[in-house]
Amino acid sequence: MSKISLVAIGSSTGGTEALAAVIPKLCPPFPPIVVVQHIPPKFSRMFSERLNKESQLTVKEGEHGEVIKENFVYIAPGGLHMELRRNKEGNLQIRCFMAAPVHSCRPAVDILFNSVAELVGDEALGVILTGIGHDGAAGLLAMKQKGAKTLGQDEATSVVYGMPRAAFDCGAVDVQIPLNEMAAAMTRVVKESEL
C-alpha cells in the first residue's frame, strides 16, 4: 500500500470558506498540498495570506518553478493554470501558465488533477469540495484510475453540490465526507493510507 506523498484539492463556489474550515485543522507533518480554487487574480494571494495566519501548515500562492515541500499548501494564482511537473532532479515543482480556460475556468482543477494523476499516481490523495459545474470530475477520475485515494464533500455541507456531484456521479469519489469531518478524513488517509 503506497504512502501518500501529495494531496490535491479542487474547489469553487463556497470553496474559500470550505478551505478555511479544513486547512487550519491539518497538522505537521503533512505532505505537500496543491489547491485550485476558482478565484480572480490578486484575491488568491490575499486568501493565501489570510489562511496562512490561521494554519499550522505554511499556506502560500504557488509560484512558477517552485519545488513543493511537505508542510506547505500551494494555492493556484488567480488567472493562471497550475500543474505539477518534475525537474531534472526528479523533484515535483509548480508550473503556472497562461492558456485557454478549461470549463470556463482559469485556473482549472482538471489541469492540476491530470498532472497529479500522471506524475504521482497511487501516492496521491484527491479531494473535491463545493463548487458550480463539473471542473475536476474528469481529473479526479484520472487520479483514481491511477490508484489515488479520493474524497468528495457531501451534498448536505456543500454550498453548491455541482463539482462534488459530477465527480461522484462519474465514479471518481471513493467516499463522500461532511465538511466538518474532511480534515480528519484527510489526516487518516495520509497517516494510514486507508479511507
- Domains of the chain plus CATH, in order, are 6-192 (3.40.50.180)
Contacting residues for 146 by C-beta, under 8 A, at least 6 apart = 117, 118, 120, 121, 122, 124
What does the pLDDT read at residue 20?
A: 98
User: Has residue 193 got a pLDDT over 90?
Assistant: no
What's the sign of the alpha-carbon dihedral 94, 98, 99, 101?
Answer: positive
| pLDDT tops 80 at residue 10 | yes
Q: What is the pTM of this model?
A: 0.98
Beta bridge partners of 56: none
Look-up: residue for cell 475536476?
Answer: 136
**For residues 133 and 81, what is the distance between their CA atoms, to the nearest angstrom?**
17
135 is catalytic: yes
The alpha carbon of 66 is separated from its chain's Cα centroid by a whole number of angstroms, namely 17
Q: Measured between alpha carbons, how far is 36 from 18 in angstroms, rounded to an integer? A: 13
- Distance in angstroms (rounded) separating the CA atoms of residues 60 and 75: 6
Residue pLDDT, tens place only, 74-84:
999 999 999 99
**Residue 32, preceding bond cis, omega within 30 degrees?**
no
What's the pLDDT score for residue 32? 98
What is the SS3 assignment for 41? Answer: coil
Residue 64, pLDDT above cutoff 80: yes
Burial (0-12, 13-18, 19+ Cβ within 10 Å), 53: exposed
Rg of the chain over Cα atoms, rounded to whole angstroms, equals 15
Question: Which pLDDT score, from 0 to 100, does residue 195 have?
Answer: 77
The proportion of the chain whose per-residue pLDDT surpasses 90, expressed as a percent, equals 96
The predicted pLDDT at position 151 comes to 98
Q: Is the pLDDT of residue 55 over 90?
A: yes
Averaged pLDDT for residues 166-178? 98
Could you say which of 11, 103, 135, 154 is catalytic? 135
pLDDT confidence of residue 1: 58
Residue type, 164: P
Indicate which residue of 38, 44, 48, 103 is catalytic. 38
Give percent of the chain with pLDDT exceeding 70: 99
pLDDT in tens, 102-151: 999 999 999 999 999 999 999 999 999 999 999 999 999 999 999 999 99
Please confirm, yes or no, whether 55 is among the known catalytic residues: no
Residue of 7, 57, 67, 1 lying closest to 28 (CA atoms): 57
